[in-house]
Amino acid sequence: MKKLTLFVCFFALPLQAQTEMTAEEAIRTGLENNYSVRIARNQATIAHNSSGLGTAALLPTLGIDGGTGLSRSDQETNSPFSFGSSDTRSLDATIALNWTLFDGMSMFAEKKRYDELARMGTVQARSIIETTVVEILRAYFDLVQQQMLLDVAMSARDISQTRFDKERVRNELGGASSTDLLNAQVALNNDQANVLDQQLRVEIAQQVLNILLARDPATSFAVKEEITIPPLDLPLEQLLQLALENNSAYRAAQHDANIAQQNIRLARAGFLPRLALNASYGYSDRTTSSDSPNFAEDINSTSKDASVRLNLSLNLFNGFRNRIDVQNARLAAENSVLVLKDARNALSAQVREQHLTLEKRLALVALEEQNVQAAQQNLALQQDRYEIGATSSIEFRDAQVNLIRAESALIAARFQARLSRIAIDRLTGRLEIE
């Protein structure tokens, strides 16, 4: 069977000015440049940064407060101790420590919740990246498909051009009717129109891929015209198990269920007492100078103050809000478990569906390969018969159209089968995104 493996040559630039890109290189470029991928990775980093001990209030807070000031006062009094006109300069500083020692285990539940959020952030980022990789692969193989269809269209046009040239010579020599010449002209024009339309499809497909790779849409490159379909190396049951272990959406649902359990612990903490440690140390320095004869020297005062306090608080009644919070948290946790079960069933169905779809599409590829082989043999036979005048131009055109359809159907079948294979890799978490 004739192989549909060619090398792309875009019409605007010479081949030597282009670089050939593989699917792996397209993924690598997309992972480096795609804006959605970069945003997703930053979001995952934000989630990890928020999972520290300080965020969950497990660590104390320490702060310092200080200041300096100058004030002027003018007094008029008959008291012998009047300051008269005076200036006061002040300097003070306070350092304070606050540490929650016990808050109904809320801080530990909060820490586990932030840890789960960090893990969920990683999983959600992977899901976004996987979606982008699937889009890149789809765009890449669509470009390959469109270029292969362009080759089919150009091959059909070349055959029609040869046929038209022969009919014109025959007509000039009086061996062919004007009808045969006109039919050949119509066939040639139709095939040329198909080439122009397919060239546009190639250009659009190339631009779509460039955008996904965060490159200039006008960047020119070549791709190898080959749609390979890697065989499945695992049976369905193992694929289902891999999906439960690695699928990003299902893992996110698991983390969400874990977070819901921590939210119950957080709500229960409202029924328990809260114990906090507060400690502070302060220093103050004040100097007052006066022009009153009663005060020959500046008056200076300093103070140092330290305090330590344990504060115990317990809410006795707040309008049943704590009880309502616990009830709502339990219902939310129950919902998250239901969502997890639903996600498990949906994931199993998707894997089975894509597995069955891939089997049917591979069977279709095999049938289309047979059709192409038969159409090629028929066209070759009709060409030989056409040369000796044993077949009509309409029969020859029918054989040509049948080959075009068969080759186009084979390309489309291989493209669809490749998409099913990609979908299985995505569902089972086997896409390479590092």
- The CATH number of the domain holding residue 344 is 1.20.1600.10
Sheet hosting strand 6-7, strand order edge to edge: 6-7, 222-225, 20-21
Domain contains 372: yes
- 77 and 185 inside one domain: no
Mean per-residue pLDDT for 409-419? 97
Mean pLDDT estimate for the chain = 88
| Domain span including residue 241 | 6-57+105-272+320-427
Containing 284, the helix (H) or strand (E) segment is strand 274-290
Q: Are residues 334 and 351 in the same domain?
A: yes
SS (H, E, C) 326-369: HHHHHHHHHHHHHHHHHHHHHHHHHHHHHHHHHHHHHHHHHHHH
175 vs 354, higher pLDDT: 354
pLDDT at residue number 291: 66
In 10 A of CB 294, how many CB atoms? 11
pLDDT tens digit sequence for 14-57:
434 467 899 999 999 999 999 988 999 899 899 888 887 777 77
What pLDDT score was predicted for residue 1? 32
| 369 belongs to a structural domain | yes
* pLDDT per position as a tens digit, 221-246: 999 999 999 999 899 999 999 999 99
Q: Which of 28-37, 43-52, 198-207, 381-390 has the highest mean pLDDT?
A: 198-207
pTM of the model: 0.82
* Residue 82: per-residue pLDDT: 57
Average pLDDT over every residue of 163-176: 80
Say if residues 395 and 382 touch (Cβ distance below 8 Å).
Answer: yes
Mean pLDDT is lowest, of 290-294, 396-400, 419-423, for 290-294
Same domain, 211 and 78: no
Is 50 exceeded by the pLDDT of residue 72? Answer: yes
Q: Is residue 181 located within the same domain as residue 302?
A: no
Question: Does residue 409 sit within a domain?
Answer: yes
The radius of gyration of the chain from alpha carbons, rounded to an integer in Å, stands at 39
Contact assessment for residue 100 and residue 276, using Cβ atoms and an 8 Å cutoff? yes
Mean pLDDT value of segment 169-173: 81
pLDDT at 153 over 50: yes
The DSSP 8-state label assigned to residue 378 in this structure reads H
Kindly tell me the sign of the dihedral angle through the C-alpha atoms of 125, 127, 129, 131: negative
pLDDT for 292-351, tens place per residue?
666 667 778 889 999 999 999 998 888 899 999 999 999 999 999 999 999 999 999 999
State the total domains in the chain.
2
Cβ distance 134 to 426 under 8 Å?
Answer: yes
Among 273-282, 295-304, 394-403, the minimum mean pLDDT is found in: 295-304
Q: Extract the tokens encoding 404.
A: 């075009």
433 occurs within a structural domain: no
Name the DSSP class of 230.
Answer: P
- Cα–Cα distance for residue pair 151/7, rounded to 1 Å: 10
Domain-located, residue 1: no
What length does the chain have?
Answer: 434
d(CA 143, CA 138): 9
CATH number, domain with residue 81: 2.20.200
Are 91 and 35 found together in one domain? no
